[in-house]
Amino acid sequence: MKQLIYLFTITAVLFASCNTDSQKGKTAETFQPIETNVSARPAGQKHVVGLTSPKMDTVRVGFIGLGMRGPSAVQRFTHIPGAKIVALCDLHPDRVEKSQQILDKAGVPRAAAYSGSEDAWKELCQRDDIDLVYIATDWKRHAQMMIYAMEQGKHVACEVPAAMTMEEIWDVVNTAERTQKHCMQLENCVYDFFELTTLNMAQQGVLGDILYAEGAYIHQLEDFWDSYENDWRMEYNKTHRGDIYATHGMGPACQVLDIHRGDKMNYLVAMDSKPVSIPAYLKEKRGEEAPDFKNGQHTMTMIRTENGKTIHIQHDVASPRPYSRMYQVQGTNGFANKYPNEGYALKADAVEAGTVPNHENLSAHSYVSDEVKKVLMDKYKHPIHIELEETAKKVGGHGGMDFIMDYRLVYCLQNGLPLDMDVYDLAEWCSLAPLTALSLENNSAPVAVPDFTRGHWNDVKGFRHAFVN
């Protein structure tokens, strides 16, 4: 009897094991993320990975959108050698005049003014004395403005997020490829002092093989909702689910992971919590019911890359909590973290003996001391910061990173170098808005992230900033 029981047990276990293996095989064979349409590159059109344009001594700029972000950009450009502000445009004439006064204060000539019409920006784009169109309007208008400007022969720099739908994203990519014009998203967080230092450490191998990066936009916007003209940002949150403002977290994460420069994002999974705080805010502050509010209280996205690495991105503009971009980089030899406590944790053999004080006492179980952190920050200060940190902090713009962003844009155009961010960065980082919505609407199903380079993601081996030799 015992033998029969034993035989039955073994048979059951073997059957279960075979069945499990069969199911595993079946799952592996049938697993297929939801895919969006990826059309072939149109005939005669070529990719813009590593795109350069002829050198220009003076970069002539036209600004569109002079509300929240535009005037500060105008002010920063008055401090950039080789930049000339040619034209200013906003729907409201008084905003144009305020920016003209910025030019007056800087002692530079006033610019051509465009205002009073929904299409005044097109006149600016049509000018033949502008090289770069700088867009700082609400994000609903970004894609059409970028496309039109490139079609008029202009390079484009656009505030974040630069495109909101897959159709817009592909139209922008195709226009950049067809016209062979630079199209850069103005993502300032990739120039933050901690982020750039960490990137430099990673590129020099201090952190080992980078396996994981994290980023976020966590910023309660209750003090800002009424500042957006015609309530455009609130309306977008009301009607759209998903991570609709992902680029501040995506930018630094993608650069440290060499996305489309040796690796690519393959698929993502998104999950969100139900919206509570913003509907409550609308009811309390505006007397407005919002039973169908779409954007979740907190949205989380997990991304897996071709090389088996992962990215975690979060979005939350509703919850009462301190501002955070959740920046983290995890390597096989060390760890970097910016929020809430900025610091590094390193294995003892991550740096050479004599590089930092008490080298032998380094432990990945705890942050390095403030003394060691300072030595690391100084030793691995990025060349961009070595050149620009002092000026950037004087000029300002989110602690100086906005100035560095604008300076680098002009520097690369002047010297005929590839820009720090290209149209594929724009596409990849912005695609989280529509792709996370698609995942959420399908019970957090995996969704494929398109290869916006259409086969050229591995042409460049590793992300690097370009400099004149």
Over residues 237-256, the pLDDT tens digits come to 999 999 999 999 999 999 99
Over residues 289-327, the pLDDT tens digits come to 999 999 999 999 999 999 999 999 999 999 999 999 999
Over residues 380-415, the pLDDT tens digits come to 999 999 999 999 999 999 999 999 999 999 999 999
Helices 193-203, 247-256: inter-axial angle, 10-degree rounding: 20
pLDDT of residue 359: 54
Q: Considering the entire predicted model, what is its pTM?
A: 0.92
Distance CA 242, CA 315 (A): 8
Q: Which residue has the higher pLDDT, 373 or 359?
A: 373
Distance CA 341, CA 337 (A): 7
Mean pLDDT value of segment 100-110: 98
Q: Is pLDDT above 50 for 18?
A: no
DSSP lists the bridge partners of residue 88 as: 63, 113
Mean pLDDT value of segment 343-366: 72
In this structure, the number of other CB atoms found within 10 A of the CB of residue 384 comes to 21
pLDDT of residue 365: 73
Q: Is pLDDT above 70 for 22?
A: no
Q: How confident is the model at residue 357 (pLDDT cuts 50, 70, 90)?
A: low
Residue with tokens 């799952």: 27
Distance CA 166, CA 429 (A): 12
Mean pLDDT value of segment 93-121: 98
Q: Is pLDDT above 50 for 9?
A: no
Over residues 150-168, the pLDDT tens digits come to 999 999 999 999 999 999 9
